[in-house]
């Protein structure tokens, strides 16, 4: 790997750890972890006390394929946010803390979080 890419990865890891350090104050609430790539977005609700994923949704999932076809990346994030809220409510989860990882709260991450709020999750 080139030195510039290693530096980028180091910065990215530092940002993600900084976010998770601040999230640690909300112990007892599951973590809504968002992972964003250049093409896709995925989100999962994680219980850190047990170390288990409670529910997860991705823009690559086949069951949402017909809903996501022909949409922009931000529109797909809105669909994913509404779906994760629905799945979390089925498991009686109403309060979560948003773990945006290395991504800024902007664009697709913001759209996903707002759709999850509209779906009934308290972030």
**Dist. CA 109–CA 91, nearest whole Å:** 23
Q: What is the DSSP letter of 62?
A: G
Predicted local distance difference test score (pLDDT) of residue 25: 77
Q: What is the pLDDT of residues 13-71, one digit of tens each?
A: 999 999 989 988 777 899 999 999 999 999 999 998 899 999 999 999 999 999 999 99
pLDDT higher than 80, residue 72: yes
Does the domain at 3-118 match CATH 3.30.420.100? Answer given as: yes
Residue whose entry in the numeric block shows the structure tokens 């709020």: 117
- In the chain, domain spans: 3-118
Cα 50 to Cα 29, 47, 65, 89, 101, distances in angstroms: 12, 6, 31, 19, 20
Q: Can you give the pTM of this predicted structure?
A: 0.91
- Give per-residue pLDDT as tens, 74-116: 999 999 999 999 999 999 999 999 999 999 999 999 999 999 9
Instruction: List phi, psi (to 5°) of 62.
Output: -75, -30
């Amino acid at each position: 790997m080139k030195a510039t890419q290693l530096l980028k990865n180091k910065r990215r890891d530092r940002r993600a750890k900084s976010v998770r350090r601040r999230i640690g104050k909300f112990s007892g609430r599951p973590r809504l972890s968002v992972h964003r790539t250049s093409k896709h977005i995925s989100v999962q609700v994680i219980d850190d006390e047990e170390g288990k994923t409670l529910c997860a949704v991705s823009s690559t999932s086949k069951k949402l394929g017909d809903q996501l076809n022909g949409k922009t990346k931000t529109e797909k994030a809105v669909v994913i946010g509404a779906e994760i809220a629905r799945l979390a409510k089925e498991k009686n989860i109403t309060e979560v803390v948003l773990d945006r990882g290395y991504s800024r709260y902007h664009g697709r991450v913001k759209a996903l979080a707002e759709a999850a709020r509209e779906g009934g999750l308290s972030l």
